[in-house]
Amino acid sequence: MKHSVGCDIVYIPSFARSAQEGGREFLANLFSEAELNLAQSVESLAGFFAIKESVIKALGRKISWLDITIYKLESGKPVVHLPLVYTFCECDVSVSHHGEYSIAVAVLSEQPQQH
């Protein structure tokens, strides 16, 4: 089984400045309405940004920000849903916040083909 890892760190003050300057259009290019409602703070949005960027890095190719959907389990753990074209892999993510930074790691595990 092949694994791919992606990691991203976001400096929250820079992200907040970009979000403020770009406004709703900036956020709408990155996050679905459900994700915007799920995130209760700019820190959460920065974490979501880091998650999506880490998934893109793990995939090794650019896909649309809006093709990566983030939701949370009851425990609060973030979960990623990828488009159908990526059904060959499972994706696990982790995000952490400390001070002015959010960091996320994504691990993609390629699933064996069923014959």
Edge-first strand listing for the sheet containing 101-110 = 3-11, 101-110, 89-98
- Extents of the domains making up the chain: 3-110
For 83-96, the pLDDT digits (tens) are 766 666 788 999 99
Tell me which amino acid residue 115 is: H
Tell me which amino acid residue 95 is: V
Predicted confidence at residue 1, as pLDDT, reads 74
Residue 115 CB burial class (10 angstroms; 0-12, 13-18, ≥19): exposed
Nearest to residue 110, comparing CAs of 39, 58, 52? 58
Name the 3-class secondary structure at 79.
strand
Give pTM, 2 decimals.
Answer: 0.90
**Radius of gyration for the alpha carbons in the chain, expressed in angstroms and rounded:** 14
End-to-end CA distance of the chain: 16
Superfamily, domain 3-110 = 4'-phosphopantetheinyl transferase domain (3.90.470.20)
Confidence of residue 2 (pLDDT cuts 50, 70, 90): confident
